[in-house]
Amino acid sequence: MKRIIILGGYGNIGKVVAKDLFSSCKHCEIVIAGSDKKKAEEYASSFNNKRVKGLGVNVKDINKTAEILKGSDVVINCVIYYLNLHIMKACLKAKANYLDLGGLFHMTKKQLKLHKEFKRNNLIAVLGCGSTPGITNIMAAYGSKFFDKLEEIHISFGDKDFTKYNQPFVLPYTMYTLFDEFMLKPAVLTKRKLKFLKPVTGEKEIEFPKPVGKLKGFLTLHSELATFPSSFNLKECTFRVTFNEDFKNKIQFLIKAGFASEKDIKINNIKIKPKDFTARIMNQWLPKTKKINDLEYLKLELKGIKNRKSKNLILYCLTKSKNNIPAGVYNTATPPSIIAQMIYSNKINIKGVLPSEKCINPENFFKELNKRDIIVFKGKK
């Protein structure tokens, strides 16, 4: 029986990864692991099946983590990206294959430096296996086949939420990532040169299919910019995130008020980082309702040359909420399950540390997405 371990397996994303693995991989042993052993065991026991187990692990301790990972065919990393290198080093010691949800550019660059070590150990580490990065990367690989020379890729996403919430604020994903997207300088490729611009700039109106329509998006730091320029030899590349104005203003207020500060403050002689406190408090505003009804489009605009003529191509990926799982969670958590199964079944033969656009067969991947009602299609020019 193949052993797949999910680090952060009882978290918002990890839970859905585990559910997909449980339903689609009948011969897998699934290990739910995290810093809270009790939560890991409780979630594992909810499956009421011997092939799902729970374990406690402190991924900051590389040696102890490696001991826990030994014997695993694939390790799926669903913890905060700050710890990606710790987990990769533990995988090397444990001789286990690895995949994650992305490294928000700078971490991705550091992770790629472990390529030779993973290759030497006959292992693969696939970086960026969620929705974006992840589905977007594989869409780009697919789209590149329609060009003799691909020159530009512009990535964005937009959603529409019809859910009736009984809460004043809805958090789409972890505050750590949100703060980074609003505070770190976005990378932009222009004229083949990578530049870092001021945060929350480059606002542009982006058109999505109905019912989403037109949304305003701003440039933000993202993992695709760490790999797309070299993977596709691009001249231009951007990533824009879309949030409504009210949500944008609230996040910016928290930042300006100091709630995202990493500087220690003392409260009753206890040191805490405001950013950690805020992230913990804000978790209460993750979607809590039994009737989630939303959808999300991932969008890629590709430009280049075909038969000596300029060519434009638009690709979309549509995801709708399913089984009370928000669309953005569903399309982030589903790809890791698919890619993990591709790894252990030897459908990915290349070794080393690679972004998903360099090692995943798009057609096979899209077929698996389609089985789960996540649809990739061409848009109108």
- Taking only the tens place, the pLDDT of each residue in 26-62 is 989 999 999 999 999 999 999 999 999 999 999 999 9
User: How confident is the model at residue 203, as a pLDDT?
Assistant: 96
Continuous segment of H or E residues that includes residue 208: none
User: How confident is the model at residue 166, as a pLDDT?
Assistant: 85
Closest CA to 59 of 50, 69, 51: 69
Residue range 260-269: mean pLDDT, rounded: 92
Retrieve residue 165's tokens. 């919430």
Same structural domain, 311 and 276: yes
Please, are residues 120 and 168 in contact by the beta-carbon 8 Å criterion? no
Q: Report the domain count for the chain.
A: 2
Residue 340 lies in a domain: yes
User: How confident is the model at residue 381, as a pLDDT?
Assistant: 59
How far is 354 from 351, CA to CA, in rounded Å?
8
Domain that holds residue 117: 2-131+327-360
Contacts of 83 (CB under 8 A, 6+ apart): 59, 60, 77
10 pLDDT exceeds 90?
Answer: yes
Instruction: Tell which of 268, 295, 320 closes a domain.
Output: 320
User: How confident is the model at residue 284, as a pLDDT?
Assistant: 85
pLDDT bracket for residue 287 (50, 70, 90): confident
User: How confident is the model at residue 286, as a pLDDT?
Assistant: 81
In degrees, rounded to 5, the angle at the alpha carbon of residue 161 between the alpha carbons of residues 160 and 166 is 160
In residues, how long is the chain?
381
Same structural domain, 12 and 141: no
Same structural domain, 103 and 142: no
Kindly report whether the peptide bond that precedes residue 133 is cis, defined as omega within 30 degrees of 0.
yes
User: How confident is the model at residue 188, as a pLDDT?
Assistant: 98
Continuous segment of H or E residues that includes residue 333: helix 327-344
167 pLDDT exceeds 90?
Answer: no
**pTM for the structure as a whole:** 0.95
Please, are residues 254 and 182 in contact by the beta-carbon 8 Å criterion? no
User: How confident is the model at residue 171, as a pLDDT?
Assistant: 87
pLDDT over 90, % of the chain: 91
Instruction: Tell which of 296, 320, 344 closes a domain.
Output: 320
CATH code of the domain containing 62: 3.40.50.720
Residue 368 lies in a domain: no
User: How confident is the model at residue 289, as a pLDDT?
Assistant: 77
CATH code of the domain containing 182: 3.30.360.10
Please, are residues 301 and 314 in contact by the beta-carbon 8 Å criterion? yes
Describe the strand order of the beta sheet including 352-355 as a list of residue ranges: 52-56, 28-34, 2-7, 74-77, 97-100, 124-127, 352-355
Same structural domain, 145 and 282: yes
Residue 379 lies in a domain: no
Residue 371 lies in a domain: no
